[in-house]
Structure 1
């Protein structure tokens, strides 16, 4: 994965934009097309207390609503910490939005004031597809882009 090029591309495409939905749509598209490991890429936005709703995303359908109390995305929202899951079938209370998902990476997304606005979810149809490098580099991209929103 060429993270420097991905970061530069996203920075160029989002420069000057502050609308969070536009930013999310652009990031989801660019990340989805950046690596064959990524089967589904998208955001679940905080839309109400303890509630995540889908969108924007790239890939097949996803779950429409995820409570903070359920699944990998909910665990990320509750803890406000990355969730790197090598085997989703071993994760307690995993929500199977797609039966092809074998591993998952979910990152918290904060606005410029430090409020949790979403989680960034990446699913893979490959087992143990994600690394700590993915966590670090994608977290940097998200922090850079959403620091402006």
Structure 2
């Protein structure tokens, strides 16, 4: 298991994601506890990209998302299906990129510092959403299709 991440020589967003995926895959390889893997994934993404908030919400039996491992300030504990960006990504079963959270209908403001957001669903092997990765930035337009592409690849780790 890696004790630290290598960030040297990475200049583009794509290079950072490619390295992050490789290193997070190695970090989580052989560990069967999903909570431990999510915790290390959130910490690694925070180290690579230093976004305001990075974390996981997991589908609970009450048709809600419940807060999982994260990096950043305290967060909303439960989110209903279809509510906010996380609940929307879960309901629609697709990545949602929000350039300006103030313009997203029904946005749940867990922290007023959040300005833009990306939420990526995590699918089980049966193609059912089992959780989401939620990343918030404290500036507008932080996320794009490159983020979506690589974060979707990364979340395949958790579908196993």
Tell me the TM-score normalized by structure 2: 0.87
Q: Is the 8 A contact 1:112 1:146 kept in 2?
A: no
Deviation at 1:69, TM superposition (A): 2.9
Tell me the residue number matched to 1:13. Answer: 27
Aligned residues: 146
Deviation at 1:114, TM superposition (A): 2.1
Aligned counterparts of 1:132 and 1:32: Cα–Cα separation in 2: 19
Tell me the residue number matched to 2:97. Answer: 84
Q: Any gaps of 5 or more consecutive residues in structure 2?
A: 1-12
Deviation at 1:74, TM superposition (A): 0.5
- Match for 1:100 among 102, 109, 113? 113
Aligned counterparts of 1:124 and 1:59: Cα–Cα separation in 2: 11
DSSP 3-state at the match of 1:33: helix
Deviation at 1:18, TM superposition (A): 2.5
Q: Is the 8 A contact 2:46 2:71 kept in 1?
A: yes
- After TM superposition, the structure 1 = structure 2 runs for residues 55-70 of structure 1, keeping only pairs within 5 Å, are 55-70=68-83
Deviation at 1:63, TM superposition (A): 0.2
Aligned counterparts of 1:122 and 1:147: Cα–Cα separation in 2: 19
- After TM superposition, the structure 1 = structure 2 runs for residues 1-149 of structure 1, keeping only pairs within 5 Å, are 1=13, 2-36=16-50, 38-143=51-156, 145-148=157-160
27-36 vs 94-103, greater mean Cα deviation: 27-36
Q: Is the 8 A contact 2:122 2:159 kept in 1?
A: no
Aligned counterparts of 2:75 and 2:159: Cα–Cα separation in 1: 27
Output the aligned Cα RMSD: 1.1
Aligned counterparts of 2:41 and 2:56: Cα–Cα separation in 1: 9
Instruction: Spell out, residue by residue over 1:62-106, the C-alpha distance to the aligned partner (whole angstroms, 9 max, x if none).
Output: 101100131000100100100000000000000000000000000
Kindly report structure 1 stretches of 4+ aligned residues shifted beyond 3 Å: none
